[in-house]
């Protein structure tokens, strides 16, 4: 079993962004809307700003209440600011349905890929800004494909892939991206019965539930790849969805938590910001 070096891959992406940005006359700028008071969100926003600065990308933080009208007003101000190239609303916004706020983000500046227009373009296999965390999963799989002297398109073709998440933030856009690359995709969720019936035949299992997914050696096939995008704190320690110990004898690759998909997600967010600043879409 090999542990995918998420931090190392993310650092390489960030170095590439930094090199590109250093040649630009106008530096990309990321606008971040932070609604309400959420200590976890504060940590994530600080990390994104630090990594942006590391790459030479400017950031602008706007704090607002959780009132949806105020959130949308903040987003509209960033939409109209020509110096801002990328916009994100830090999620979750506790107690608020953020869908109308996400829809308010200018699709050209939607670097988290959650505006319905960008999501629709991805589902129709049309070039668009895609969700950062699903892109992080693709980047992890690309690393594995290169290890086997292949490329992402050829490597994923026909691969049985189970995604344990059906959210519009992760599972659905990831499914679309994988289908666009000719993977064979199945989505499991909280109402799926006997999930092991799906995982037993999976070449790739991707989970992002924030809760325990109990899989044993008998529930997975030999050589399975586990992409664990789940994250929570248990007894002051970061924990993913799937225990390595239970399936390590069958896995060929698995992502660590922390240090796996998380840092890659931040890197892909900043890569999207660079793309948006260059109008490459």
- The residue assigned the tokens 């190392």 is 8
Q: Kindly state the percentage of the chain with pLDDT values over 90.
A: 88
Domain check: are 91 and 190 in the same one?
no
From the list 86, 17, 25, 57, the residue with the least C-alpha distance to 271 is 17
Domain check: are 148 and 255 in the same one?
yes
Task: Specify the pLDDT at position 281.
Answer: 52
CATH number for 231: 3.40.50.720
Domain check: are 95 and 182 in the same one?
no
Mean pLDDT of 147-153: 96
At 268 the three-state DSSP class reads helix
Domain assignment of residue 242, given as a range: 132-262
**Looking at the domain assignment, is residue 2 inside a domain?**
no
**Looking at the domain assignment, is residue 211 inside a domain?**
yes
Residue 205, both tokens = 């299992």
Q: How far from 101 is each of 90, 105, 172, CA to CA, in Å?
A: 11, 7, 19
Domain check: are 217 and 182 in the same one?
yes
Q: pTM value?
A: 0.95
Q: Where are the alpha helices (H) located in the chain, listed in sequence order?
A: 6-21, 39-55, 68-80, 99-104, 116-123, 132-147, 152-156, 171-180, 196-199, 244-247, 261-278
Q: Binding site annotation covers 151?
A: no
Give residue-wise pLDDT tens across range 195-224. 999 999 999 999 999 998 989 999 999 999
**Looking at the domain assignment, is residue 126 inside a domain?**
no
Mean pLDDT of 163-188: 97
Mean pLDDT of 251-256: 95
Quickly state the pLDDT bin for 89 (edges 50, 70, 90). Answer: very high
Residue 237, pLDDT > 80, answer: yes
- 19 Cβ partners below 8 Å, 6+ apart? none
Residue 280, pLDDT > 80, answer: no
**Looking at the domain assignment, is residue 7 inside a domain?**
no
Task: Specify the pLDDT at position 62.
Answer: 98
Domain check: are 97 and 146 in the same one?
no
Quickly state the pLDDT bin for 30 (edges 50, 70, 90). Answer: very high
Q: Binding site annotation covers 166?
A: yes
Q: Please state whether beta strands 204-207 and 251-255 pair in parallel, antiparallel, or not at all (unpaired).
A: unpaired
Average pLDDT of the chain, as a whole number: 95
Mean pLDDT of 127-151: 97
**Looking at the domain assignment, is residue 15 inside a domain?**
no
Domain check: are 80 and 201 in the same one?
no
Mean pLDDT of 171-189: 98
Q: Binding site annotation covers 167?
A: yes
């Amino acid at each position: 079993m090999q542990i995918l070096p998420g931090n190392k891959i993310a650092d390489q992406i960030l170095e590439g962004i930094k090199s590109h940005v250093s040649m630009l006359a106008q530096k990309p700028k990321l606008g971040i809307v932070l609604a309400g008071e959420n200590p976890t969100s504060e940590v994530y926003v600080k990390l994104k700003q630090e990594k942006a600065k590391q790459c030479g990308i400017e950031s602008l933080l706007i704090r607002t209440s959780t009132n949806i009208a105020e959130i949308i007003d903040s987003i509209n101000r960033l939409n109209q600011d020509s110096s801002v190239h990328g916009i994100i609303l830090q999620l979750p916004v506790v107690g608020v349905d953020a869908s109308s706020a996400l829809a308010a983000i200018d699709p050209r500046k939607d670097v988290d890929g959650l505006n319905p227009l960008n999501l629709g373009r991805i589902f129709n296999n049309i070039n668009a800004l895609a969700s950062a965390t699903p892109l992080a999963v693709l980047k992890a799989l690309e690393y594995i494909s290169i290890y086997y002297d292949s490329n992402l398109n050829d490597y994923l073709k026909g691969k049985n892939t189970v995604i344990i998440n059906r959210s519009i933030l992760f599972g659905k856009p990831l499914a679309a991206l994988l289908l666009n690359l000719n993977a064979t995709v199945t989505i499991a969720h909280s109402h799926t019965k006997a999930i092991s019936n799906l995982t037993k035949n999976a070449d790739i299992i991707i989970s992002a539930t924030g809760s325990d997914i109990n899989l044993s050696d008998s529930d997975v096939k030999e050589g399975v790849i586990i992409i664990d995008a789940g994250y929570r704190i248990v007894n002051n320690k970061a924990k993913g969805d799937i225990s390595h110990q239970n399936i390590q004898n069958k896995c060929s690759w698995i992502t660590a938590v922390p240090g796996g998909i998380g840092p890659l997600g931040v890197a892909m967010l900043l890569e999207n910001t660079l793309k948006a600043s260059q109008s490459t879409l």
